[in-house]
Structure 1
Amino acid sequence: MGVTVKSAVAKAGHDYIRRRYGEDAWNQLLDMLLVEDRVLIRNIGSTASFPVAVDGRVFEALVHAQFNGDRIVAASQLREGGACQADAMLDGIFSIFARYASPLQAFKRGGTVLASVYSNAVSTTTEIAAAQNGGAIHVTGLGESSFIAPWHCGWTERALGRMGGNHVHVTERSWEAGMIASPELVYDVRWG
């Protein structure tokens, strides 16, 4: 099956797309996918894990159907989706951590938290800047997950902001270089 993400995480992203853009847009997006992808999506609640390649194709179809392939609009909208998903998780399973962790504590664990929703094929390392106001998170193993970088950026910005980070800014190097996916994602994170 390749690299997988927890089905609950993928489903939360799909549910966000349905709420944000509507059922007609969701159905249009599904029609753009392969039959076997649609079957997996419709049965997402019955499995523990979901292929990141299929999730990437969902994001890619969204970008083409809703944003006419515009990278700037896609980046903004996908960041918004990541931020909404962060809010849901920080108000839920991560609520205690969100209440008491500093931005630096959260950043130090950020790669581990990110990797925890994926199969073992995904690994991360975190580099902390000398000023301890950010650094870089290196993620390997998500090369099949198209358009995931802006979603992760929005998630991380919202999470660090809610934990007290001011002027949080997150970018991903391959996305900034014009790619939609990469075997290694490097997130540059800063807050003031």
Structure 2
Amino acid sequence: MALDLQGKNKPTMKKLFLCFTFLLGGLAVQAQEMRDLDQINEDNSWLKLGVNLGVPVGDVSNISSLALGLDVAAQFMRTDNYGLGVATGYTNYFKKSDIGEGTGLTDGFGAVPLGLMFRYYPQPSGLFVGTDVGYTFLTGANSADGGAYIRPQIGYHNYDWNIFGYYNQVFRGDPGIDIQSVGVAVTYNIRFK
């Protein structure tokens, strides 16, 4: 049984999306030496693999009680502080239990993002900020359309690990409801050779 994600489209995080995009754009134009793609090595490029755990918020919290997923991204450090890449993964939104249906965690829906990632690392280890932007495809949601997404993040990083909090929103067209969640994620950096 697939979930019905039909509902009213509400004005939401569009201002946050614009502000965050301008912030990252401003950080990108700092006067730093830019690397070209032919300079990729294990010190400036890696594959990020990880897991995320979130809590649905907004209208989708009436449908789902938990979001659990896998993150995959490839990142290239364009400068010493600024990283670019592509991000994807899969997140399952578990259905809330209904009276008489036991746990109710068998008929959720899934989200498969495909986007660009932007990261700003002020220091080689410590605080970082970033966002993923792109399109999310939905699975198991009564053929519901996906939509554009944004996933701002703030967290801690070192040579091998990233631990961060995030807000994720999928902007869906009328008559769909936006899919929103907040959560935490951990990724491990696998170096390119």
Q: TM over 0.5, yes or no?
A: no
Q: State the TM bucket, normalised to the shorter chain.
A: under 0.3
Give the structure-1-normalised TM-score: 0.24
Which protein is richer in strand relative to its size? Answer: 2
- Which structure's CA Rg is the greater one? 2
Give the structure-2-normalised TM-score: 0.24
